[in-house]
Chains A and B, each alone.
Chain A
Amino acid sequence: MNFGPIFLFLIAAGGVVFVALFLNRMLAPRKPNPEKLSTYECGEEAVGSPWIRFNTRFYVIALIFLVFDVEVLFLFPWAVNLKSLGMFAWIEMAVFIIILSVGLAYVWAKRDLEWIKPDSDEIQAALRQSSQTITDK
Chain B
Amino acid sequence: MLQTAIILAKIWGVLLTLVSLAAIMTWVERKQSAVMQDRLGANRADVLGLRIIGLFQPMADGLKMFFKEDFVPARGDKFLHTLAPMIAFFPALLTFAVIPFGDVLRIGTLEIPLQIANLNIGYLFILAFGGLTIYGTVLAGWSSNNKYSLLGGLRAGAQMISYEVVLGLSLVGLIMVFGTLQLDIMVKKQGELLFGFLPAWGIFLQPLGFLLFLPSAIAETKRVPFDLPEGESEIIGYYTEYSGMRFGLFYFAEFIEIIVLSAIMATLFFGGYQIPWLYAEGFQFPWGWEWNLPHLLVVILQIGSFFAKIAFFCWLQVLIRWTLPRFRYDQLMRLCWVNILPLAVLNIVLTGLVLMILN
Q: Please give the residue numbers on chain A whose beta carbons come within 8 Å of chain B beta carbons, in ascending order.
A: 1-6, 8-10, 12-14, 16-17, 20-21, 23-25, 27-32, 34, 36-42, 46, 50-52, 54, 57-58, 61-62, 64-65, 68-69, 72-73, 75-76, 79-83, 86-87, 90, 93-94, 97, 101, 104, 108, 113-116
Contacts and interface: CB of A to CB of B under 8 A. Distances in A.
B67 A58 contact: no
B146 A28 contact: no
Contacts of A14: 90
Contacts of B165: 65, 68-69, 72
Nearest to A100: B345
B124 interface: yes
B293 interface: no
A50 B150 contact: yes
B324 interface: no
B321 to A, nearest CB: 23
Nearest to B169: A72
Contacts of A64: 337
25 contacts: A2-B118, A10-B90, A12-B12, A13-B94, A20-B249, A21-B245, A28-B68, A28-B244, A37-B73, A40-B73, A40-B146, A50-B146, A54-B151, A64-B337, A65-B165, A69-B164, A69-B168, A72-B172, A75-B168, A75-B172, A79-B176, A81-B179, A97-B345, A114-B330, A116-B330
In the complex, the 4 A-B pairs of residues with the closest C-beta atoms, listed nearest first: A115-B330, A24-B245, A72-B168, A37-B74
Contact of A5 (B86, B116, B164, B356): B116
Contact of A75 (B157, B161, B334, B348): B348
A92 to B, nearest CB: 11
A119 B43 CA distance: 54
B175 interface: yes
A25 to B, nearest CB: 7
Given A79-B175, A79-B176, A83-B355, A32 B71 contact: yes
A104 to B, nearest CB: 7
B158 A9 contact: no
B270 interface: no
Given A9-B94, A46-B147, A24 B356 contact: no
A76 B125 CA distance: 12
Interface in B344-359: 345, 348-349, 352-353, 355-356, 359
Contacts of B119: 1-3, 6
Contacts of B158: 57-58, 61-62
Nearest to B89: A17
Interface residues of B, number: 79
Interface string B3-35: 000011011101100010000000000000000
A110 to B, nearest CB: 12
A30 B68 CA distance: 9
A125 B8 CA distance: 70
A20 B85 CA distance: 12
Contacts of A25: 70
A34 to B, nearest CB: 7
Interface in B139-166: 142, 144-151, 154, 157-158, 161-162, 164-165
Contacts of A52: 147, 150
Contacts of A90: 352-353, 356
B175 A80 contact: yes
A119 to B, nearest CB: 16
B42 interface: no
Given A12-B15, A58-B157, A69-B165, A82 B176 contact: yes
B341 interface: yes
Nearest to A94: B349
Max chain B Cβ within 10 angstroms of own Cβ: one of A27, A30, A62, A80: A80
Given A8-B8, A65-B164, A113-B333, A27 B246 contact: no
A69 B164 CA distance: 8
Contacts of A1: 119-120
B244 A62 contact: no
Contact of B162 (A61, A83, A93): A61
